[in-house]
Every structure is written in structure tokens, then in C-alpha cells.
A and B are shown apart, each in its own frame.
Chain A
């Protein structure tokens, strides 16, 4: 798994599951829901985010309900990684199980919107290509990264079972 390189979208603290997956669209198809992801915080985000772009946020990202659409929307928008000071546990687990790498990043304040970041989740090496500063974060082990690149738990299980690796 090579490093993810992308443009930074910057968010604040307590980005909750209602902001990520607005209740009004919960009954809509997931793809439609994704188009409204975070619209009340940054209306340009869902429309303009590019595959591989990186979200950087503060404290308790994903807090709120257990709704899996909060993480699924980020998968559908092809977000490269989420870096935050801290995450809510259910969101964090959902996101990894949907193939969206999440990394704990206490220095989030040093990153600005529009910076270009290179993130190597397996080695934990993070570089701000705009400012030239580099950081280390708690990495995601290679075997878990395999699940993430497969697109999450279900596609990964499908692949593993297809290869006869699991009973």
C-alpha cells in the first residue's frame, strides 16, 4: 500500500453523525445521502471533494448515533483518509470496516485547508507537502490495511473466502 496523497479539507471539533449523514436523507439511497454529507458545515465539500482527498478535523469526529451511513458516505465520496485529534468509537470502527482509514493526529491544528498531505497509514509517516513538515502517527497494521484497500470488511471477507483462507 503506497502513501495516500491528497488535498486537505479542514473541519472543526465534534463533527457528528447528523452532519455526516443528515437524518433527512437517511431513507434515500446511499449515493444521494453522500451528496449531502457535511452540507451544513461546508456546502462545497460533497460536490468538490476528489478521490484521495484528506479530511483533517479536531476532537470526537463521528460522535453521535451508530448510523453506518456516516462512514459509508465518506467511502462513497472516496475520501483518502480522515485525520482527527480523536474519533467516536462506533464511527471509527464503521469507517475502517467500510475501507476509510482513520488516523489519530494530535497536530491537526498545524494543517490548513488546501494543504497537500502524503499519508502512509502502514508506516505512520505523514508529510505536509505544502509546509514541508513531517509527523508520525499510530499506524494501521498492513493486514488491516489490506481489508481497508479491499473496500472494507464484507468485500475483504469475500476475497479471503474466495481464496480459501478462512474456514
Chain B
């Protein structure tokens, strides 16, 4: 394996979702495809595919909670780490994920760590860890079922937004361009609409909070440096340099 790996993605454990994750991460929609290192105790379970998406994918056999193994995957220079559930551990799958997440954060606390959780009740155990995102799909899916009861067929829109392909839109969160600083969300929206931009502005992030299409009276917030715009687009939006 290339020992000079940098800004790569480390996947700990392998399960049935791994294949989709590799294909989404190495989809043609991304210009810069980051190398992926998979750490698993069962390397045979990873498909030995010749598909384009499986290029720049490396496998390390071993226990992902082992510090030495994580260092072999150059975790200290990695961009992101994904901890998938080890289904063989049954009820203790989440407990094992917590151990791996703690090991990752000990080696490199700056790495963006994403953990797949089986039971939402185990979320509390991640409270004191520095895990960046906990994906408990049970919660998201339940909300999706509720949304589909409110508006039939709506789930396919959300699935569309979750798919990273050339002919689907995704959610992109981008820094506020300089010429948008000082504008309200409404002002920024009018600018985007008049420019006939290829993306749809839906909200902004400020101070860690997300604001989706704020109401007229709530949109007084002036966008500033450090805020981020939430957009829906086929590929990551780029602003023309103005002012």
C-alpha cells in the first residue's frame, strides 16, 4: 500500500452497505476522488471488483480498533474515517463501533469521523467522544415514513438528494462568497435567482445552526464570512468572482 497516502478516507469494518458507499464516494460526479482504505478482519468479504469505482481502493486485514492497524492505514493524514457496523458482533455492534471511534479520535482528532449506528438509544454513548457525525438511519427513515404519510411519494425526492450521480442533485454546503457578505438570505436568494444560477439556494448555516428557507421576518441575519450556503445542485456550485 502507498505509505504516502494523504487526505484519504478510511473505512473501518465492511458490511453490505460498503459497496454502495464506495460507488457513491468514487462516483463520476466528484472531480477529486479520494483514495479509500478499508480495514476489515475479513478481507474476503470485500468484492474484488475491476469497476472504475474500485480503483484507488486498498484493503488492510486486521482489527480496526487496533492502534497499529489504524496507523498502517495512515489515519494521521486521513481526511475522513467511516466506522461501519460489524454485524457479526450482534447486539454489541454499536459498542464495538464506539471503541473504534475512540481509537480513531485518539490517533487523529482532526479527522472527520462518521459512525454508523444501529440503535438510536446508543447515541448517548457517543456524547463525550469527538465523533463528527453519527448516522442513525433508523431516525432519518422514520421521519421519511412520516413525511410520506404527509405527502405521498415525497421519499423519492429525499433519496434523489442522497444519491451522488451525474444526473441527480445533491446537497452542497459552500462558503459564503465575498460579494454575498452583508446580504440577508432574502437578498442572496434574489441575487441567485436573477443570475439564473444552475443551483438552488435553500438555506444557510451560521454558528453551527441550520436555517432552511427562513421566513421573511427571520431573514434579517446578514451573511458573513464563516457562514455557509446550503444549495442543491448537480455538482458543487462555483461562483463567478465579482467585486
Whether A associates with B in a native complex is no
